Amino acid sequence: MQQRLKYHIHYVVDYDLILKLNIKNIYKIPKKTSIILQSNQKKLLVDPTIMYPLYGCFELLSFQRPIFSISKNAVSSFQLRKEQVLGCLVTLKKLNLYYFFDKLIFLYFPKIKSLELQTVKFLKKRFVYAFGLKSVIPFEDIEYQYLKTELNFGLNVFIMFKKVGNPKNIPLFLSALQFPLKK
């Protein structure tokens, strides 16, 4: 499945963008470097056992083990202790990036009726396209595994780009992949 999307990007989308952007060099097209999946849960402060389904969901989504987000400082107003687990984080690269992106575009987005996507931000020579998913249940891997639990949590997705040139090239790249963009 990931080979299909990789082939489509390299042989169809790249050459389509060369024509649309009037670029003479193929290396000026935006390239995805990584996708970061992240979720922080306020419920983890009260009940740390919620961490196990969250960890399992991240492992099913990404085929990697997630890293725990841990608090650095104690904040009494939030009832937060030092070195307390707040959520999970996974960085996807290479084949796992294409596999997740393929699942996201062709399996997850068609199941959602209303989708709210965020904006493109510039961070240290990289452009980041960030958006949030309100529920992870529509992913088929999680849908069958977690029907018995009542947990439903959101997910933040950050798509990192490099070699962009112009930030307006990122929405063109994503729309060429049939990514639902906010108009």
The predicted structure's pLDDT at residue 92: 92
Q: Which domains does the chain have, with CATH numbers?
A: 31-166 (3.30.1440.10)
The predicted structure's pLDDT at residue 121: 64
Strand partners, 161: 32, 127
The predicted structure's pLDDT at residue 118: 55
Q: What distance in Å separates the CA atoms of residue 93 and residue 163, rounded to the nearest whole number?
A: 16
Cα distances (angstroms) measured from residue 2 to each of 6, 33, 96, 98? 6, 15, 8, 5
The predicted structure's pLDDT at residue 91: 92
The predicted structure's pLDDT at residue 90: 93
Residue type, 36: I
Q: pLDDT 10s per residue in the chain (183 long)?
A: 557 777 888 888 888 888 888 888 777 788 888 998 888 777 777 777 777 777 888 888 888 888 887 777 777 666 767 767 778 899 999 888 888 888 888 777 777 766 655 555 656 667 888 888 777 766 766 666 665 556 677 788 888 887 667 777 777 888 787 777 765
Q: With contact defined as beta carbons under 8 Å apart, do 151 and 137 qualify?
A: no
